[in-house]
């Protein structure tokens, strides 16, 4: 996955509590496990006025003009501002896939469902938790100035707006290390590739009958 260090980007405000994963990516799109192509169906039932199905041409579907992501001032946003308990419901990993493939690189909210939060980190999305009064302030500032940008500095663990207002956030050192270095579980495992290969070679030397089923 891509490394996350610093990001300056446009903020899109999604002012709703308890946004569940079926709202993020509806169940009918979970037939695919290809991990690609989910971005156009992010918040599908809210973005479009018809009922979406896999394989539809999203470029000709009718848009809901009242939904935030369809409004001109929030096009190309890379930071999604949310409220409380974002990502609740089922634990589908398709939800962070859709968020990432739409173009969001970071989420900022009051709280996130735990499994969803971990899935975000494992897919290179930085989910930031701030106090409710800080989130309120960010929503107010975004409403007052559509097109507002924020700068997220993961090494310093800060969110700074274009007026200089700064918010500090907490993140587990292990998760921070993985995001900074672009490491998911596979990447972490591959750091030990030489040791794994040496172990398998030694095991085959002791148990040569495994040679027909083990590739080193």
Q: Can you tell me the distance from the alpha carbon of 96 to that of 117, in angstroms, rounded to the nearest whole number?
A: 9
In a domain, 1, yes or no: no
* Residue 192 and residue 176 share a domain: no
Of 204 and 122, the one with more pLDDT:
122
2-25 tens-digit pLDDT: 999 999 999 999 999 999 999 999
Q: What is the reported pTM? A: 0.88
Helix, strand or coil for residue 44? helix
Q: What per-residue confidence (pLDDT) applies to 7?
A: 98
131-176 tens-digit pLDDT: 999 999 999 999 998 899 999 999 999 999 999 999 999 999 999 9
When divided into structural domains, the chain yields a total of 2
* Residue 106 and residue 40 share a domain: yes
Give the CA distances from residue 71 to residues 12, 13, 19, 67, 74, in Å, rounded to whole numbers and listed in that order: 10, 11, 20, 7, 6
CB 24 within 8 A of CB 87: yes
* Residue ranges of E strands in the chain: 6-13, 79-81, 106-109, 126-129, 149-153, 158-161, 166-168
| CATH for 20 | 3.20.19.10
In a domain, 148, yes or no: yes
* Residue 62 and residue 23 share a domain: yes
Confidence class for position 203, pLDDT limits 50, 70, 90: confident
* Residue 194 and residue 89 share a domain: no
* Residue 94 and residue 148 share a domain: yes
Helix, strand or coil for residue 20? strand
CB 48 within 8 A of CB 117: no
* Residue 195 and residue 131 share a domain: no
Q: What per-residue confidence (pLDDT) applies to 172?
A: 97
Convert 82-115 into a string of H (helix), E (strand) and C (coil).
Answer: CCCCECECCCCCHHHHHHHHHCCCEEEECCECHH
37-53 tens-digit pLDDT: 999 999 999 999 999 99
Q: Are strands 149-153 and 6-13 parallel, antiparallel or unpaired?
A: antiparallel
* Residue 203 and residue 133 share a domain: no
* Residue 169 and residue 194 share a domain: no
Helix, strand or coil for residue 26? coil
Q: Can you tell me the distance from the alpha carbon of 151 to that of 156, in angstroms, rounded to the nearest whole number?
A: 11
Q: What is the mean pLDDT of the chain?
A: 92
- The whole domain housing 195 covers 184-216
* Residue 60 and residue 70 share a domain: yes
* Residue 193 and residue 115 share a domain: no
Confidence class for position 122, pLDDT limits 50, 70, 90: very high
69-119 tens-digit pLDDT: 999 999 999 999 999 999 999 889 999 999 999 999 999 999 999 999 999
């Amino acid at each position: 996955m891509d490394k996350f260090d610093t990001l300056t980007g446009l903020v899109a405000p999604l002012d709703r509590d308890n946004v569940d994963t079926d709202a993020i990516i509806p169940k009918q799109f979970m037939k695919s496990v290809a991990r690609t192509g989910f971005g156009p169906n992010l918040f599908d039932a809210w973005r479009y006025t018809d009922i979406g199905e896999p394989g539809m041409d999203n470029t000709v579907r009718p848009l809901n003009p009242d939904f935030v992501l369809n409004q001109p001032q929030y096009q190309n946003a890379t930071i999604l501002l949310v409220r409380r308990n974002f990502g609740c419901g089922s634990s589908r990993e398709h939800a962070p896939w859709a968020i990432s493939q739409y173009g969001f690189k970071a989420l900022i909210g009051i709280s996130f469902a735990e499994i969803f939060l971990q899935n975000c980190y494992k897919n290179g999305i930085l989910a930031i938790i701030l106090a409710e009064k800080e989130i309120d302030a960010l929503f107010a500032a975004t409403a007052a100035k559509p097109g507002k940008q924020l700068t997220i500095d993961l090494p310093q663990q800060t969110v700074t707006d274009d007026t200089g207002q700064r918010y500090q956030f907490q993140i587990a050192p292990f998760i921070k290390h993985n995001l900074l270095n672009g490491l998911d579980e596979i990447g972490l495992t591959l750091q030990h590739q030489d040791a794994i290969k040496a172990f398998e070679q030694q095991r085959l030397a002791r148990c040569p009958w495994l040679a027909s089923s083990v590739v080193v």
